[in-house]
Amino acid sequence: MVNITWLGHGTFALGVNGESIVIDPWLEGNPKFPSGFAFSRLDAMLITHGHFDHMASAIELAKKFSPKVIANYEICTWLESKGVANTSGMNKGGRQQAGALAATMTHALHSSSIQDGSNLIYGGEPGGYILHLPDGRNAYFAGDTAICSEMALYASIYKPELAFLPIGDHYTMGPEEAAHAARMLQVKKVIPMHYGTFPVLAGTPEALGAKLAGSGIEVWAVEPGKTVNW
Ligand SMILES: [Zn+2]
């Protein structure tokens, strides 16, 4: 079983076998961050791409808790230059342990750059992750992406039962494309993310649900700060 806590936008805390894992940490400045939430430990950190809304809190959390930090090679190299230890850069197609989980880096149709002062630094390619749970189930964390045909491959290879999909539109897919993605992934449940943070991220779980009517796929609209079990 995994405990899932949405921290708003694209940020999630996962609890697996007593270990704590954060994905795409953006705490301070995140308009939907649940006040009162705080990490007490952090065993692993997964980052999908270099944009601020996915790693603005990475350095602070890494220095405080010394988790294993997993991202693409370019982001890990940049984090090391900022004094982050224990990075483990990887690339798409590879798999490695992230605390109690294993994570396979997947493709994403997006961009990736790192804002460093007034400079915009190359952030490698954007990605996502297949999360391999200790109990044998798999989940797909898409990161920021448009719909892409690779998702059919992930369904075939990993058979994920749960997908975390962006639905906000504008910078990522919206509800219509996310519904197609969910069908292509053949998942049982979708946790929508990357919506409602800013006015342009206008996609809603209700719109996704309408597009998935009759599919048997459940839209699992979790609330920031309310931990759910899967
Ligand atoms: Zn984003």
Average of per-residue pLDDT across 23-39: 97
Query: For 126-143, what is the mean pLDDT?
Result: 98
Pairing of strands 189-193, 218-219: parallel
| Ligand 1 centroid distance, CA of 20 (Å) | 22
Between the CA of 111 and the centroid of ligand 1 the distance, in Å, is 10
Which of the four pLDDT bands, split at 50, 70 and 90, describes residue 126?
very high
- Beta-strand (E) ranges in the chain? 2-6, 12-16, 19-23, 44-46, 68-70, 95-98, 101-107, 113-116, 119-122, 127-132, 138-141, 162-166, 189-193, 218-219, 228-229
pLDDT class of 38 with cuts at 50, 70, 90: very high
Q: Is 90:68 a contact under the CB 8 Å cutoff?
A: no
CA 153 – ligand 1 centroid, Å: 24
**9 Cα: distance to centroid of ligand 1 (angstroms):** 8
> How does pLDDT run across 45-59, given as a tens digit for each residue?
999 999 999 999 999
Tell me, in angstroms, the distance from the centre of ligand 1 to residue 31's CA.
13
pLDDT above 90 covers what percent of the chain?
100
Structure tokens of 224? 């920031």
Q: Report how far ligand 1's centroid is from the alpha carbon of 167 (Å).
A: 11
- Å from CA of 30 to ligand 1 middle: 11
For the purposes of burial, counting CB atoms within 10 Å of the CB of 31, is it exposed (0-12), middle (13-18) or buried (19 or more)?
exposed
Cα–Cα distance measured from residue 12 to residue 34, given in angstroms and rounded to the nearest whole number: 11
Q: How many residues does the chain have?
A: 230
Mean pLDDT of 25-52: 97
Q: Which CATH number among 3.60.15.10, 3.40.50.2300, 2.40.33.20, 1.10.101.10 corresponds to the domain 2-225?
A: 3.60.15.10
Question: 160-208, pLDDT tens digit by residue?
Answer: 999 999 999 999 999 999 999 999 999 999 999 999 999 999 999 999 9
Output the CA 10–ligand 1 centroid distance in Å: 7
User: Given strand 19-23, what is the order of strands in its sheet?
Assistant: 68-70, 44-46, 19-23, 12-16, 2-6, 228-229
Write out pLDDT tens, residues 70-117: 999 999 999 999 999 999 999 999 999 999 999 999 999 999 999 999
| Domains of the chain by residue range | 2-225
Find residue 69's DSSP bridge partners.
Answer: 45, 87
Average pLDDT over residues 34-63: 98
CA of 134 to the centre of ligand 1 (A): 28
Q: Say how many Å lie between the first and final Cα of the chain, rounded.
A: 6
Residue 32, classified by CB atoms within 10 Å of its CB into exposed (0-12), middle (13-18) or buried (19+), is middle
Q: What is the pLDDT, as a whole number, of residue 22?
A: 98
The gap from C-alpha 131 to its chain's centroid, in whole angstroms, comes to: 10
Over the Cα atoms of the chain, what is R_g? 16
Give the global pTM: 0.98
CA of 144 to the centre of ligand 1 (A): 6
